[in-house]
Amino acid sequence: MLIIPNFAAIETYARMEGLPFSSRYELIALPEVHARFADIVHSVNEDLAQFERLKKFRLVSEELSAANGTLTASMKIRRRAIEEHFKREIEGMYSEGEVASVT
């Protein structure tokens, strides 16, 4: 699962916690931010059946937009374009295992 965080909220959280970052990429790479999302995913998983649970996730720093081809002009998701655009991140979820897994 690819997760595009609410960057305004995450930046506020990071500043309140005194976490250093200078870009969105650095922000989502912080272990504290990743742990916070892992906790959220874990709490969501508690209410789901085993087959519905998120096993792995990856935070991405780029939002979906018509400019990068991941949304249509009417703001509909272009699944194949997203798959191609985030191909490296998707493949990384399955090759790295532990970094992106949820327990």
Helix (DSSP H) and strand (DSSP E) numbers for the chain: 5, 2
Q: Which residues pair with 2 in a beta bridge?
A: 58
In the block, residue with structure tokens 């991941």? 70
Q: How many domains does the chain have?
A: 1
Residue 96's pLDDT is: 64
Enter the tokens of residue 25: 């990429």
pLDDT digit string, tens, across residues 32-54: 999 999 999 999 999 999 999 99
Output DSSP code: residue 99. Answer: G
- Domain residues for the domain of 95 are 2-99
100 — pLDDT class (breaks 50, 70, 90)? very low
Residue 97's pLDDT is: 54
User: Residue 94 in contact with residue 55, Cβ under 8 Å?
Assistant: no
